[in-house]
Amino acid sequence: MNEISDIVVNLLADFVDKTEEFKGNSIPKCELKLVDDIYKYVLQDDCEYAIDVQESIQRAYGLCYITKKNTITLFIDIKAGMTIISSTLHEFTHAYDFSLMSNCMREKNLRKVQANASFRLWSEFHAEYLTYLYLFRVNGLSKSEIEVFEGLRGELEKFFGENQRMELSKLVDFTVRLYGRYMALLKTYPDTMKKYPYRFFVNKDFLRLYDYLYEHKTFDSIKGNVSELESVFRGLERLSRI
C-alpha cells in the first residue's frame, strides 16, 4: 500500500484483528493521502465526477475515491483532527467492501460497484459499525453506555426534526451510520444495551431497515444476497416525506 507508514499499517492490521471481519482476505490495493482539500484532489483526477459529487465531498473528512484509472485512493482531510483515525478506518472499510464485492460480482470496474446505491448505503453502515466496534474495544468509553446511547438518540431526533424535507436518500444515509454506531455499542455492551432501544425508530419502515442491518453486519452475510438488500432500500423509496 503506497504512501502508508508503518504506524498506519499496524493500525489497520490491529483493526482487522480486533473486528475479525476481513481476516483471510488480502488487503485491498490502495493509497492513503492526508490532504488539505479533498475536493481539489478529486477535481485534478476527474473534473466531471468531482463537480457531480461536489456537495458530499466538501462535507466529508474522508473519501474512498475510485480514480479514473480504476485504483483506490483513501483521502483523509487533515482538518479532521482527532477523528483522523476513525476517518481512516471508515474509508479503509469501504476499500475492502468495494474490492470484495468487485470480486463477487466479477466486475472489474470499481465505480460500477460503488454506483450500486443500496450496496453503497450498506457499506456506510458497515464502515461505522466496524470503526466504532474497534474504537469501543480499544479505547472503551469516556461516559456510560446509556449516556452514549442518549447522545445517539439525540442526534437522530435533532437530524430528523431539522431535515424533514431533505431527500430520502440523505436521511437514510444518516440513519444507517447511526444504526452502525449503536450496533457497535450493543455488541460491546450486550448486558446494558437493548436490541430495540426506546424512541430510536422513526417508523416501521426504518425499524425494518434496522432489523435487516442487524442480521447483516458482515460482508459475508450480504455478498450473495444483494437483491434482498436492494429490496429493503426500495421499500423506503415510496416514502416521499418522513
Domain boundary among 83, 115, 147: 115
Write down which residue in 115, 145, 162 finishes a domain.
115
Domain that holds residue 224: 124-237
Q: How far apart are CA 151 and CA 8, in angstroms?
A: 30
Give domain status of residue 242, yes or no: no
The last residue of a domain, from among 86, 115, 144 = 115
64 and 161 share one domain: no
- 2 confidence band (pLDDT: 50, 70, 90): very low
Measured between alpha carbons, how far is 83 from 80 in angstroms, rounded to an integer? 5
Tens-digit pLDDT profile for residues 114-168: 999 899 999 999 999 999 999 999 999 999 999 999 999 999 999 988 877 777 8
Residue 85: inside a domain: yes
Residue 1, pLDDT above cutoff 50: no
Residues 132, 224 share a domain: yes
Residues 175-187 have a mean pLDDT of 97
> What does the pLDDT read at residue 107?
95
Average pLDDT over the chain reads 90
Residue with cell 430520502: 168
Give pLDDT tens digits for 5-31.
Answer: 778 889 999 999 999 999 888 889 999
pLDDT at 239 over 60: no
Tens-digit pLDDT profile for residues 82-98: 899 999 999 999 999 99
In a domain, 27, yes or no: yes
Give residue 81's pLDDT. Answer: 82
The amino acid that residue 51 corresponds to is I
The pLDDT confidence band at residue 224, using thresholds 50, 70 and 90, is confident
Domain total in the chain = 2
Same domain, 219 and 153: yes
Residue 75 β-bridge partners: 33, 63
Which pLDDT tens digit goes with each residue over 189-217? 999 999 999 999 988 889 999 999 999 99
Tell me what the mean pLDDT of segment 28-48 comes to: 93
User: pLDDT at position 237, please?
Assistant: 66
Q: pLDDT at residue 180 above 80?
A: yes
Are 107 and 131 found together in one domain?
Answer: no
Place 75 in a pLDDT band, splitting at 50, 70 and 90: very high
Cα–Cα distance between 187 and 133 in angstroms, integer?
A: 8
Residues 42 and 139 in one domain: no
**23-35 burial: b if 16+ Cβ within 10 Å, else e:** eeeebbebbbbeb
Q: Is the pLDDT of residue 242 over 80?
A: no
Work out the percent of the chain whose per-residue pLDDT is above 70: 95
CA-CA distance, 29 to 61, in Å (whole number)? 21
What is the C-alpha separation between 200 and 188, in angstroms, rounded? 19
pLDDT for the residue 53: 84
> Which grid coordinates are listed for 237?
423509496
Residue 27 makes CB contacts below 8 A (sequence gap 6+) with 1, 12
